């Protein structure tokens, strides 16, 4: 009886054609390895910030470390190209993509240095740039985003999203790899920040915790599925958005503007604006009577 019970459950779980979940097909190709991707990101972090993370060699950008990045990334890109099933020669393409990414590492490092400076200079509680690198979740989120963004620009499937979701899980900061983010970007505290796929963010932009740059509504196709089109905000240079504010739709927040806390913004904002909540009125009563 016990054997038949286990066999029954095993048989049911093996029937992938059951209508309720027939749309989830068992892969017939190699899948990305999450542990190897974590190893790749840790090594990349030690190369970007030498001396802060890494092994006995302080993770510096030695030829051996760069070759290790190449080896790890090449294999995971290859698996993701197999996953998409849209490349005639995924192994050759993986080699080319990986070399292109390695060439981008100096620019990724430069951009992240501007983010470190922005976070430090915007936070009086930050005692040093080293503290920002070691401790601030925004830097981890931005490192993952800037790596993933470069991979996405190469049109590599799946891997960019895996990388940003790793940071999302660890920091509570959700940045889609397709979003475009300029230099000197800072997030203070960070928990609950959401930056949507088609966001465009300029230079010297600062966000606080709980900010959502999201979509207001969707356009649907004939099958009832949402169409992927620009639907998230454009944030111009030198904008500050304070905590728990929500900015929705393909609207533009003009340069040098400030959006106060807990604001719901769905309309364009001209440059040099100050958007704040209206002050709430309060009625006071004596005792417990209403």
Which domains are present in the chain?
28-173 (1.10.3130.10), 179-276 (2.160.10.10)
Stated as kind and residue range, the H or E segment containing 174 is strand 174-175
> Model-level pTM?
0.89
- Indicate the burial class of 212 (C-beta count within 10 angstroms; 0-12, 13-18, 19 or more): buried
Q: Are strands 186-188 and 174-175 parallel, antiparallel or unpaired?
A: unpaired
pLDDT, tens digit, 9 for 90 and up, residues 81-137: 988 777 677 889 999 999 999 999 999 999 999 999 999 999 999 999 999 999 999
Instruction: Select from 80, 103, 91, 68 the least CA-distant residue to 163.
Output: 80
For residue 285, the model assigns a pLDDT of 59
The half-sphere exposure of 125 on its side-chain side, counting CA atoms within 13 A, is: 4
For residue 61, the model assigns a pLDDT of 67
d(CA 163, CA 260): 31
> Two tokens at 120?
């430090």
For residue 280, the model assigns a pLDDT of 65
d(CA 101, CA 95): 10
Could you report the average pLDDT of every consecutive run of 10 residues in the chain (290 residues)? 79 73 74 95 94 66 89 96 78 94 97 98 95 96 98 96 97 98 97 97 98 90 83 98 98 98 97 88 58
Neighbours of 193 (CB within 10 A): 26
d(CA 184, CA 286): 52
pLDDT, tens digit, 9 for 90 and up, residues 65-84: 999 999 999 999 999 998 87
For residue 246, the model assigns a pLDDT of 98
CA distances from 56 to 37, 59, 60, 146 (A): 21, 7, 10, 26
Is the CB of residue 275 less than 8 Å from the CB of residue 260? Answer: yes
> Two tokens at 74?
């090449």
CA distances from 225 to 50, 190, 218, 219 (A): 45, 31, 9, 8
Torsion, Cα 133 135 137 141, to 10 degrees, reads 30
For residue 290, the model assigns a pLDDT of 47
Is the CB of residue 46 less than 8 Å from the CB of residue 52? Answer: yes
């Amino acid at each position: 009886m016990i054997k038949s019970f286990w066999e029954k459950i095993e048989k049911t779980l093996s029937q992938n054609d059951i209508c309720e979940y027939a749309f989830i097909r068992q892969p017939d190709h190699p899948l990305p390895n999450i542990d190897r991707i974590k190893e790749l990101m840790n090594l990349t972090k030690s190369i970007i910030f030498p001396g802060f993370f890494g092994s006995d060699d302080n993770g510096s950008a030695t030829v051996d470390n760069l070759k290790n990045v190449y080896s790890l990334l090449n294999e995971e890109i290859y698996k993701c190209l197999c996953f998409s099933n849209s490349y005639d020669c995924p192994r050759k393409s993986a080699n080319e993509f990986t070399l292109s990414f390695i060439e981008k590492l100096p620019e990724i490092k430069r951009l992240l240095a501007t983010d470190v400076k922005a976070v430090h200079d915007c936070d009086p509680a930050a005692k040093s740039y080293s503290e920002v690198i070691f401790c601030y979740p925004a830097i981890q989120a931005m490192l993952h985003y800037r790596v993933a963004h470069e991979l996405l620009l190469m049109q590599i499937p799946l891997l960019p999203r895996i990388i940003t979701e790793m940071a999302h899980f660890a920091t509570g900061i959700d940045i889609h790899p397709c979003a475009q983010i300029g230099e000197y970007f800072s997030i203070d505290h960070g928990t609950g920040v959401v930056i949507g796929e088609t966001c465009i963010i300029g230079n010297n932009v600062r966000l606080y915790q709980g900010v959502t740059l999201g979509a207001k509504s969707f356009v649907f196709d004939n099958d009832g599925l949402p169409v992927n089109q620009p639907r998230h905000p454009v944030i111009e240079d030198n904008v500050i958005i304070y905590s728990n504010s929500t900015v929705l739709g393909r609207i533009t927040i003009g340069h040098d503007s400030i959006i106060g806390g807990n604001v719901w913004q769905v309309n364009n904002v001209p440059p040099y604006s100050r958007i704040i909540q209206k002050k709430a009125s309060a009625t006071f009563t004596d005792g417990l009577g209403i």
